[in-house]
Structure 1
Amino acid sequence: MTHEELDELESILVPMKFSKGEMILEEGEVCENIYYIDKGLIRQFYFKNGKEVTEHLGADRSIFMCIESLFLEMPTHLQVEAIESSIIYALPKRRLEKVALHNVNIQILYRKILEESLILSQVHADLVRFETAGDRYKKMCKLMPQVVLRAPLVYIASYLQMTPETLSRVRATTLID
């Protein structure tokens, strides 16, 4: 990308700071942004049968969004919480699409962001569908080492769709390559 293209992207970024425990997006709100975590840690979660279920964990230099809400412009069932003090940049979808209309490189970047999001969702879905508890944890350690080191174990267990007790047993018996 050229300096001009980067400047144009930078002009639409909205810097945001969140304290630990602060909500970034609440259930019932419409997600209007793609978010980039410059520094920090977040979790996307929802409630099922009265329990919190962690759907996504994101750390420094990663992207998150509530994709269904973003594209259908409907209220989300998800919530996003900062689980560490976080510096996040919001990239408003409408402004990004407007800029992308006239710029092929920004169109490509937009597509790559969406591809990455879809791939991460598929990797997580396959992980919980096809892998054993031990293999799920090993893969997470390999793919998301900063999240494993920094996120509370209860959120990691939920993300991997296991109980905290199962995660504790897995961690006690797992050697990481």
Structure 2
Amino acid sequence: MRQYLLLVPLLCWLLPVCHGGIGSALVQGRLLCHKQPFAGEKVEIWAKAWGMHVDQIIRGSAPFFQGFFDKLLDSTTTDAYGYFALNGSYYEALATKPMIYAYFVNYCEPAIRKESFVCGNSIKAYIPSSFITSGKNPLETFHLDELEVSTVENQQFGLEAIVYSWFDRKECRDE
């Protein structure tokens, strides 16, 4: 009887692993800067991390703290006309579908402009869960359509809103 009681905590620990899921998304769109193509700009899709993932613990593939960072799924640059397409999938051990978002930096309306460099605010566009497919191959495409970057306002939710108010996220590059 005691042996079985020792298995109960192990089963409770494994329960989230059994209910995890693979989510995938296909995102397409066109970025504009003052009605002109936002060409040659980096666009990425990421999966929101909610903590250490069981597959990382089992494989020992990452230090403990690394599991708390979002995971890059795909990256590209916009073409000469501002178009992009991204496709990525991610395993989430603690949820049925991971939260996936498109990420890019607004260099169209830079937050800081110095002599040799420019800094832009980061922009996240969360993919609605109805466009995140269970499994490795996305069945639907989320279209950002034509997005005028100069008018985009970024919104944060939950803990991200608090952290963002302390550490306003900007990326910089040489001009």
Q: Normalization by structure 2: what TM-score?
A: 0.27
Question: Higher strand proportion, which one?
Answer: 2
Structure exhibiting the larger radius of gyration computed from Cα positions: 2
- TM-score, normalised to structure 1, is 0.27
Which one has a larger percent helix, Structure 1 or Structure 2?
1
